[in-house]
Structure 1
């Protein structure tokens, strides 16, 4: 049975033939799944390093989000459309690396803004993202199998609603309110995707269709989405705090000037 047949067996019409005992199989992770997860997380770490290199390359060359978006939209579908066979491994690794570098180019503007305005916020956002990612991944791995697979439809529905609302705001306005929702609710959505994608990785591996690059890419996209939203929230909070401090200092100077005039 080739890769396509096994995928169809897991997600296609053959899914109806799964017995109730298999659906309620909550056995611990097998050694094969544990080894696969270790490879996935190592590959994810490589992707994060490549993304950081993309941010650095953008700072040196001036390449912006346009090139990053083009590279991401080309490399990701191409990699997913390439069957995971030994003879295509090098090609898929190159496409995976291109996707990670392109993501770095996409993140470069907000990272540069953070470094210019509030450098400490950048480390806080990355540490917070790593903490959120680790906690939700652990929740998925320590929970019974398939417990959170129902989240897939719910999370996809929320993202689809965001896309529809974005089109609606172009016509009717209200972008500020939508931006708030995308920041906070979007953060929760992609945290949920960490749980969902982690359990899907386990299920695909148990079904005999492990794909380290695809699984690492899923988690990498979740990590990047959480990071950019958390960084935007922290930057806005830091700017708001700075604005309040300036206003407080301005009021203090005005009160001091008024007291000085009364003294004379």
Structure 2
């Protein structure tokens, strides 16, 4: 038998029999909102890079925090849906603005870092998302405690590194953080499915979880690539 004559059933690949139809519809809304956030965040980052507003990082962080709290305080209902989508777009825009200083730094080192980091993040995010969607329900929820413990240890080491100033510890935090965020993509995706199966259909708030995962992954990968590029330039001198 010639294995190359076999046809791939793409319809079967796109079926998630362990996820109910209502939850599948919920996930479509979540990822549609996620796509909107990505577009708006890209616009925010572009605005910062063009305007070079020095205080944008601090102001955007405060603004995005205010919008997140506002969104959290606004109940999920059909009447408030448009308002909450507006808050989501504002949050995504300010998050993109907040990425501006890091983007400018990478552009100064090597502009090719940005597309490489974005494509790498997109591939990582897509692969781990599909792994979570195809896996058995609740199979990755056990990661929650492990990931939060890892985040706590990373926070403590970062605070300690303010006094030690170790470049090795800083790099270790970046790489470990990248692995931890991959775990959060698995965990958050399955947690969203589980919440939706139990009646929580707040797709706007669920979108924020995935959006923050993507942005954090992108930031860490971008910083790793930037550091590697700087090391290469030092070796050439």
Question: Normalising by the residue count of structure 1, what TM-score does the alignment of the two structures yield?
Answer: 0.79
SS at match of 1:100: helix
Residue 226 (str. 1) matches residue 217 (str. 2): yes
How much has 1:175 moved relative to structure 2? 4.3
Residue 37 (str. 1) matches residue 37 (str. 2): no
Residue 81 (str. 1) matches residue 70 (str. 2): no
Contact kept? 1:136, 1:194, Cα under 8 Å: yes
Alignment of 1:32-181 (within 5 A): 32-63=22-53, 64-170=56-162, 172-181=163-172
When you count helix as a share of all residues, which structure comes out higher? 1
How many residue pairs match? The answer is 220
In 1, the alpha carbon distance for the partners of 2:69 and 2:208 equals: 11
Contact kept? 2:49, 2:103, Cα under 8 Å: no
CA offset digits 1:7-60 (Å, max 9, x no partner): xxxxxxxxxxxxxxxxxxx96111112111111111111101111111111123
CA offset digits 1:123-159 (Å, max 9, x no partner): 1110000000000001101110000101111111111
- The structure 1 residue matched to 2:180, chosen from 189, 194, 198, is 189
Contact kept? 2:158, 2:173, Cα under 8 Å: no
SS at match of 1:210: coil
Q: CA RMSD in A?
A: 1.6
The answer for unaligned runs of 5 or more in structure 2 is 1-15
In 2, the alpha carbon distance for the partners of 1:57 and 1:72 equals: 16
Name segments (4+ residues, structure 1) moved above 4 Å.
Answer: none
How much has 1:81 moved relative to structure 2? 2.2
CA offset digits 1:218-260 (Å, max 9, x no partner): 00000000001101111111121122223xxxxxxxxxxxxxx
Check 1:106–1:175 CA distance in 2 against 1; reply closer, same or farther (3 A cut).
farther
How much has 1:110 moved relative to structure 2? 1.3
The answer for unaligned runs of 5 or more in structure 1 is 1-25, 247-264
In 2, the alpha carbon distance for the partners of 1:126 and 1:87 equals: 36
In 1, the alpha carbon distance for the partners of 2:172 and 2:76 equals: 37
How much has 1:177 moved relative to structure 2? 3.5
Check 1:245–1:166 CA distance in 2 against 1; reply closer, same or farther (3 A cut).
closer
